[in-house]
Homo-oligomer: A and B are copies of this chain.
Amino acid sequence: VRTAGRILEEEGLEAVSMRRLSGELGAGTMTLYGHFRDKDELLDAIVDARAGAAPPPRLRGDWTQRLRQIFGHLHRNLSEHPGLVELRIRRPIATPGAFVITELGMRTLRDAGFPPAEAARAFRTLFVFTFGAAAFSPPGRAPQARSTVLAAVGALAPEEYPTLAAMGTELADSLDPRGEFETGLEHILDGLKAALAREAWAR
């Protein structure tokens, strides 16, 4: 599992094959099937092992600051390992390691005053956004994405795309992975604060 995780991080998901892995370990390909029923089980084991790998920081401050720490940590982890993101989108995992972040986030939201169902919804919003940001804007692709969008917007017909034609640079700048994640997180936190101030269950 450790070797497979290394291949995934260094060379991406497509490089992780049963034959490649067994070769690297100096064993026959079929030996792997004594430890995992099939490749999916191996991939699950990689994700599980990596999910609890970097423990989240000790939480400090009020609930919004804690959520910034939890999801900032998750986003940093995911951004550093794009292969893991692809894997977790294709095969969501439900192993104990994957729930460490969930437990922390849910505890923070419950303590902030969100009832169980509302806390679960709020967590899910933050979780899906964080994964979306990591999947859609891996840091390695950022420079290329910027220039691609800049060129594409420049080539649009101004009559059909009047708004975009006037703001190509702002659009390209919004693709910066860190800024994209951080402003999005603030938008969601603003929304959660508003819900907490508005809803009857919070009183």
Chain A 95-128 interface residues, beta-carbon cutoff 8 Å to B: 95-96, 99, 102-103, 106-107, 110, 116-117, 119-125, 128
Total A residues in contact with B, Cβ cutoff 8 Å: 66
Judge whether A200 is part of the interface by a CB distance below 8 angstroms. Answer: no
Copies in the complex: 2
Nearest neighbor of A181 in chain B, beta-carbon distance: B128
Most chain B CB neighbours (cut-off 10 Å) among A129, A180, A189: A129
Q: A123-B174, A171-B102, A173-B120 in contact; A136/B89 too (CB < 8 A)?
A: yes
Bound-state CA distance A186–B199 (Å) is 13
Please determine whether A122 and B164 come into contact, CB atoms closer than 8 angstroms.
no
Is A187 within 8 A of B191, CB to CB?
Answer: yes
Chain B nearest CB, measured from A134 CB (Å): 9
A: which residues have CB within 8 A of B?
A: 86, 89-90, 92, 94-96, 99, 102-103, 106-107, 110, 116-117, 119-125, 128-133, 135-137, 141, 145, 148-149, 151-153, 156-157, 160-164, 166-167, 170-171, 173-175, 179-180, 183-184, 186-195
Q: In the bound complex, do residue B184 and residue A145 qualify as a contact, i.e. CB atoms below 8 Å apart?
A: no
Instruction: Tell me how far the C-beta of A41 lies from the nearest C-beta in chain B, rounded to whole angstroms.
Output: 15
Contacts of A136 in B (CB 8 A): 89, 92, 128, 131-132
Closest to A129 in B: B129
Residues of B within 8 A of A160 (CB): 96, 103
Question: Do residues B156 and A122 form an inter-chain contact, with CB atoms below 8 A?
Answer: no
Cα–Cα distance between A103 and B128 once the two chains are bound (Å): 24
CB<8 Å pairs between A and B, sample of 28: A86-B90, A89-B135, A94-B149, A94-B151, A99-B161, A99-B164, A102-B171, A103-B162, A117-B170, A120-B171, A121-B174, A122-B187, A124-B175, A124-B180, A125-B129, A125-B184, A128-B132, A128-B184, A130-B132, A132-B136, A187-B192, A187-B195, A188-B191, A189-B191, A190-B191, A190-B192, A193-B194, A194-B194
